[in-house]
Amino acid sequence: MKIVGDSEHFKQPFDHDEEYVSRAEAKREIAVYQELGIKLVALSKSQIKKLNLDELLFDNVMKTKTIKINTEAYRRQLQFIGKIMRNVDIEALQLDIKNVLNQNSNESAKQNVAEKLKEQLLSEGDAAVQDLLEKHPQLERQKLRQLIRQSIKELAKKPDEASKSSIELVKYLRNEISE
């Protein structure tokens, strides 16, 4: 006589099948793809281009950016992106997204350093130029001094606006100094 609570009684034929995926597990997996799709859509166009996505995924991510958020069409488009992403290596894509976001923070850090250097150069003059050239001999003294002089002249005329020369000075510093 078999006991009703016996575990053998409740076993299903797929309990020993290693390829079987439960519905709950499949839904969790789909949710991961959709969350990653949401992260993709949140990126800027230039960031998305850096990811080297396949054409179908890239086109659909860009299409999603044109759809109003909180609409049914937007939700369906995100689901479709999730479906497309089933064929993509998720770990590699997550790493690429992390690298792209990190590059942006590095770029903004470089911009901040260049802005501080510009302010220091404009306020301290030749002493600051000499200190900077000692730290970074690859910089051109003449170009630096010329940009500083032009920036000071332009700022004297229009103190409220960012001068063309000071913007160029920041670009020069940012491109030449790699710390």
Domain of residue 141, CATH code? 1.10.60
Choose among 131, 174, 134, 128: nearest CA to 148.
128
The HSE-up count of residue 172 (CA atoms within 13 Å, CB side) is: 21
What is the chain's pLDDT, residue by residue, as a tens digit (179 residues)? 555 555 555 555 555 667 787 889 888 888 888 888 888 888 888 888 888 888 998 999 999 989 898 899 999 998 898 888 888 888 888 888 888 888 767 777 777 888 888 888 888 888 888 888 888 888 888 888 888 888 888 888 877 777 788 888 888 888 887 65
Burial level of 40, CB count in 10 A (0-12/13-18/19+)? buried
Q: Are 137 and 163 within one domain?
A: yes
pTM of the model: 0.51
Q: Are 129 and 82 within one domain?
A: no
* Cα 77 from Cα 74, distance rounded (Å): 5
Q: Are 132 and 169 within one domain?
A: yes
**93 lies in some domain:** no
* Cα 143 from Cα 78, distance rounded (Å): 50
In the listed set 59, 88, 117, which residue is the last one of a domain according to the structure? 88
**139 lies in some domain:** yes
**83 lies in some domain:** yes
Q: Are 124 and 164 within one domain?
A: yes
DSSP one-letter string for 59-117: HHHHHHHTSPTTSHHHHHHHHHHHHHGGGS-HHHHHHHHHHHHHHHHHHHHHHHHHHHH
Q: Are 131 and 162 within one domain?
A: yes
**2 lies in some domain:** no
Residue 11: the pLDDT is 55
Residue 9: the pLDDT is 52
Residue 17: the pLDDT is 63
> Radius of gyration over alpha carbons of the chain, in Å?
28
As given in the structure block, the two tokens for residue 10 are 């409740």
**138 lies in some domain:** yes
Neighbours of 173 (CB within 10 A): 23
**68 lies in some domain:** yes
Residue 61: domain span: 21-88
**133 lies in some domain:** yes
Count of structural domains, the chain: 2
